[in-house]
Structure 1
Amino acid sequence: MSQGPLHDRRLLELSRLVGAPTDRTTLELHAFHRLRILARQPLSAPRCPLDDQPLTEGVCAACGRTFARELAALRGALAALAGAPDPAPRRVPPSARTRHEADRTDRAEGYSLELLVDLHQAFEAMALEHRVGLVTGDLDRASSALARLDRWLQDHVAKERALVMPRYEPLGSFPRGAAPEIVENEHVKILAGLAEAHRGLDQVRSARGDSRAVAIVELLDAERLWLGLLEHHDQRERAFVYPRLDGALSSAAKQALIAEMTTAFCE
């Protein structure tokens, strides 16, 4: 029996993790700040996922929405998780790493770079928010979510290109489907799909009546392929890129990389 889209299951998993209701905008905060806590980074100046404005005492001055309870629950639930190493850290298969890489993994203190792939969960939450806006005809909601997705996704791809791939490419001996050029090709297609989504939304806004309804359906159909690419990309990085780096980098290097990759989400 089908259990629903993969991204919906991830949202439910995030919700259960912090004991909070499945609210997509709240889950954006959960995904971002989960990484910050696990990277031992402060939760200073978190931003409202509705309008991207800084929160003061858990309240967004722009829209008035209160996130204090969610942030408190997040801190409490995840501070304990961050306080101890993963009891079963993910291991790269011996065939996929050198002895030197294996030794460095054995010295690691529980950090897993799979945390960085969890950023994709926040992107999925934004994409779902955008699509809910389209389905309900709330174009402002659809546009706001797409704008947030654009900002974070552009930043994420740029940082993977600058920080992750230069560490991954020299490792060599890539199994089928794990070559750096395949990962980069998906990055190009993902950003192209993001631009197409903006163009499609512009067409929806310019249409009227039945033509707008048709434009919405066409955009939803086009985005389905793009979201499928995002899911395949998530699986590729989760299976190859980050596990391989887990075996090649020291715990300190992994902690630093997590911090660098997530800085924008709490600026």
Structure 2
Amino acid sequence: MSLLRTTSVHDALDGLVHAARVAAVERDVPGAHARIVQAERTFAAHRAQEETHWLPLYTARCVPHPNATPTVLLRDHALIASLLAEAPTHGGLALVDLLEDLAGALEHHDQRERTHFKPALDAVLTPAERTRLLELHAASEQALDAPPSRVTTPWTPTPDAPVQAVRAGLLAGQPLPDTLEHVL
């Protein structure tokens, strides 16, 4: 079993963003916004899994590739989340442009994870730890498949002040704190 099995969430996000782009080009702004809401929900669950369970292990045990440091991965998450949050405020060509940027950000993030993050983490996990991460991922995917009224996600889109401060610092180019425990 490999953590690379969990790349289906990236495929789902790519599909949702593509569908939103098609809808935007066809001038179906409500349809595009509906896909963006789905993508935002899917990404929030993905982000929660990585930042709560995966990144602390990666930070503690791996020597990260320069293109997949915790700082880079958290910046990717912040950028993708901000693009998803901003998208519903746009229509027309501005929405098409924003969705193009979002597709690029998702592609780069996915490449980092497939090439560096997940293989490095895979190499240092015990079988029990790997199984636990895969179980958490599967539970998160099942929650996303449930009707929205029954879904509970561990991620809240409005993090508390310490988390906001660290993320703002990362976006401003400041180094990642020595420990992520107070952030996550």
Unaligned 5+ runs, structure 1: 1-110, 205-215
CA displacement at 1:115 relative to structure 2: 1.4
1:1-267 paired onto structure 2 within 5 Å: 111-200=1-90, 204=91, 216-267=92-143
Q: What amino acid maps onto 2:140 in structure 1? A: A
CA displacement at 1:112 relative to structure 2: 0.8
Q: What amino acid maps onto 1:221 in structure 2? A: D
CA distance in 2, matches of 1:253, 1:173: 18
CA distance in 1, matches of 2:87, 2:98: 8
CA distance in 1, matches of 2:5, 2:129: 14
Q: Which has the higher contact order (CA 8 A, sep 6+)?
A: 2
DSSP 3-state at the match of 1:118: helix
Larger relative helix fraction: 2
How many percent identity over aligned positions? 29
Structural RMSD (CA):
1.5
CA displacement at 1:246 relative to structure 2: 1.0
Aligned length: 143
CA displacement at 1:251 relative to structure 2: 2.6
4+ residue segments displaced more than 3 Å? none
TM-score (norm 2): 0.72
Q: What are the superposed Cα offsets for residues 56-88 of structure 1, whole Å, 9 maximum, x if unpaired?
A: xxxxxxxxxxxxxxxxxxxxxxxxxxxxxxxxx
Q: What amino acid maps onto 2:86 in structure 1? A: E
CA displacement at 1:172 relative to structure 2: 4.0
CA displacement at 1:173 relative to structure 2: 2.7
Unaligned 5+ runs, structure 2: 144-184
